[in-house]
């Protein structure tokens, strides 16, 4: 067993401590519920800023928050670090790597992972950006390859070390491309004086005909203009068909020398053993009703990226973004606290993306703008969304320092082998 304290309260088991899971846990009434959080990590990760960790703009601790610290004064919140193996809706049990756990109410909030579309080659030879560990791996390899490039005299081989390819022109793709361009333009000329920084090429590959498909045409055009001026090679209407060694092959036949390929071309959810196959839809999202319950089971709910709630306005489900997860979690916690069944209605507060210093894009329901003011809005929104006062202060100081100095002192290559440190 997972060793959960016995209680007379209704036990609510939450799988996943992302935006949705954490919000539900905070909002649930502890006088009525025992709350059990099960996650593979003992901390919450602020996913929108993973790319800044990967690009050496922030330390991992600045965008992470320990779960036990978040609930240290709430005795009826139980935290277990374990991998979810299966769910038994009939017996109302969850099987994990550390044992079983029973529930009265189950909330699925496991989020999404990188979608490689079943291509093992892409999964093996590219970098996802859906966790802090993946962000750190990319950061390490980025700077390790620059060190190798200094020693490489062959021009073609050197391009494999210094050139970088990003696949996917969504928010993650354009933000990574912008951050890399700033590294190339402001950091590499100072840190790597033995290299000609003009040899560094950044490629952004988008299969569609526009960047930022989920945003306005105005923002899409502005994003491409920003990136092009910063030196990013934007290639649209083209797919990556092969990634082998230090070479990327496009559908047009073009080959790019690049050892580092960041895969930002889509997300998918992980199936959970035990749930009926007919619940799953495209991207392994789970069908729910307007109460966020899975079909034919009133005790199992889904929030966030995993949930597919179809409506006239959202026939393909809601966008898989943090704001949707948070709003779903807020509504679900109200329903559980008050024993009501108010349907979930998404309030679109807009979307945004940042390209770099003074360059961001904001789409509000009736207003679209970009540039310096949009960048300030992006900074404020993300700063206040972080968990923990200390994290807010540290991130703010990092951003201010970086703005005025065009530099960050976080370009450290971490090694797991202590013998070689």
- Bridge partners of 352, per DSSP, are 362
Structure tokens at 99: 């044992």
Give me Rg for the CA atoms of the chain: 22
Residue 394 lies in a domain: no
Collapsing DSSP to helix, strand or coil, 50 comes out as helix
Q: Burial level of 72, CB count in 10 A (0-12/13-18/19+)? A: exposed
Same domain, 42 and 139: no
Residue 69 lies in a domain: yes
Give the Cα-Cα-Cα angle 123, 127, 165 (nearest 5 degrees): 110
Nearest to 227 by CA among 206, 190, 210, 202: 202
Give me the DSSP letters along 101-128. Answer: EE-SEEEE----EE--TT-HHHHHHSB-
Residue 384 lies in a domain: no
Read off the CATH number of the domain in which 202 is found.
Answer: 3.50.50.100
pLDDT averaged over the chain? Answer: 93
Q: In 206-273, at which residue ranges do the beta strands (DSSP E only) sit?
A: 232-235, 240-244, 247-250, 255-257, 260-263, 267-268
pLDDT at 207 over 70: yes
Same domain, 129 and 66: no
CA gap 4, 102 in Å, rounded:
9
- Domain-ending residue, one of 311, 338, 365: 338
Residue 301 lies in a domain: yes
Same domain, 161 and 67: no
Same domain, 219 and 293: no
As for how many domains the chain has, the answer is 2
Residue 98 lies in a domain: yes
Over residues 84-112, the mean pLDDT reads 96
pLDDT at 73 over 70: yes
Same domain, 255 and 282: no
Nearest to 246 by CA among 141, 174, 365: 141
Residue 31 lies in a domain: yes
- Domain-ending residue, one of 288, 318, 338: 338
Same domain, 250 and 304: no
- Bridge partners of 79, per DSSP, are 37
Categorize the per-residue pLDDT at 416 as very low, low, confident or very high, splitting at 50, 70 and 90.
Answer: low
Same domain, 79 and 207: no
CA gap 167, 164 in Å, rounded:
10
- Domain-ending residue, one of 265, 290, 315: 265
Same domain, 76 and 147: no
Read off the CATH number of the domain in which 82 is found.
Answer: 3.50.50.60
Residue 416 lies in a domain: no
pLDDT at 421 over 50: no
The least confident of 216-225, 228-237, 403-412 is: 403-412
Over residues 320-343, the mean pLDDT reads 95
Categorize the per-residue pLDDT at 114 as very low, low, confident or very high, splitting at 50, 70 and 90.
Answer: very high
Q: Whole domain around residue 206: which residue ranges?
A: 120-265
Same domain, 252 and 137: yes
CB 328 within 8 A of CB 304: yes
Q: Burial level of 83, CB count in 10 A (0-12/13-18/19+)? A: exposed
pLDDT at 75 over 90: no
CA gap 172, 181 in Å, rounded:
14
Place of tokens 């959960």: 4
Pairs from 60-63 (Cβ < 8 Å, separation ≥ 24): 60/132, 60/135, 60/136, 61/391, 61/394, 62/391, 62/394, 62/395, 62/398, 63/132, 63/386, 63/391, 63/395
Over residues 51-70, the mean pLDDT reads 93
Same domain, 194 and 107: no
Same domain, 18 and 153: no
Over residues 271-292, the mean pLDDT reads 94
CA gap 70, 44 in Å, rounded:
9
Same domain, 281 and 232: no
CA gap 25, 37 in Å, rounded:
8
Residue 374 lies in a domain: no
pLDDT in tens, 231-257: 999 999 999 999 998 899 999 999 999
Over residues 25-37, the mean pLDDT reads 95
């Amino acid at each position: 067993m997972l060793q959960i304290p016995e209680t007379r309260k209704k036990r609510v088991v939450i799988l996943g401590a992302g935006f949705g899971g954490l919000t539900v846990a905070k909002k649930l009434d502890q006088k009525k519920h025992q709350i059990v959080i099960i996650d593979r990590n003992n901390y919450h990760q602020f996913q929108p800023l993973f790319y800044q960790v990967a690009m050496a703009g922030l330390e991992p601790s600045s965008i992470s928050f320990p779960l036990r610290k978040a609930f240290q004064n709430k005795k009826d919140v139980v935290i277990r670090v374990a991998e979810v193996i299966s769910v038994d809706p009939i017996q109302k049990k969850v099987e994990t790597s550390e044992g079983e756990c029973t529930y009265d109410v189950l909330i699925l909030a496991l989020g999404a992972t990188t979608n490689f579309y079943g291509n093992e080659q892409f999964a093996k030879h590219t970098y996802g950006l859906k966790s802090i560990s993946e962000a750190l791996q990319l950061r390490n390899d980025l700077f390790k390859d620059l060190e190798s490039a200094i020693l490489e005299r062959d021009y073609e081989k050197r391009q494999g070390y210094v050139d970088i390819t990003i696949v996917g022109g969504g928010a993650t793709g354009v933000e990574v491309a912008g951050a890399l361009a700033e590294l190339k333009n402001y950091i590499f000329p100072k840190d790597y004086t033995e290299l000609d920084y003009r040899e560094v090429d950044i490629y952004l590959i988008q299969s569609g005909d526009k960047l930022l498909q989920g945003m306005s045409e105005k923002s899409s055009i502005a994003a491409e203009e920003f990136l092009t001026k910063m030196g990013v090679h934007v290639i649209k209407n083209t797919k990556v068909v092969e990634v082998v060694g230090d070479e990327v092959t496009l559908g047009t036949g073009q080959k790019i020398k690049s050892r580092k390929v960041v895969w930002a071309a889509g997300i998918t959810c992980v199936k959970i053993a035990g749930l009926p196959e007919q619940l799953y839809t495209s991207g392994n999202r789970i069908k729910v009703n307007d109460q966020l319950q899975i079909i034919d089971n009133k005790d199992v709910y889904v929030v966030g990226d995993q949930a597919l709630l179809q409506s006239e306005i959202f026939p393909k489900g809601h966008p898989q973004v943090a704001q949707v997860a948070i709003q779903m979690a807020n509504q679900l916690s109200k329903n559980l606290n008050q024993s009501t069944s108010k349907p979930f209605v998404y309030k679109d507060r807009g979307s945004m993306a940042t390209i770099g210093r003074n360059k961001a894009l904001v789409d509000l329901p009736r207003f679209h703008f970009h540039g310096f003011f949009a960048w300030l809005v992006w900074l404020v929104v993300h700063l206040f969304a972080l968990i923990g006062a200390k994290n807010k202060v540290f991130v703010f100081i990092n951003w201010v320092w970086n703005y005025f100095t065009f530099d960050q002192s976080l370009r450290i290559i971490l090694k797991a082998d202590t013998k070689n440190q």
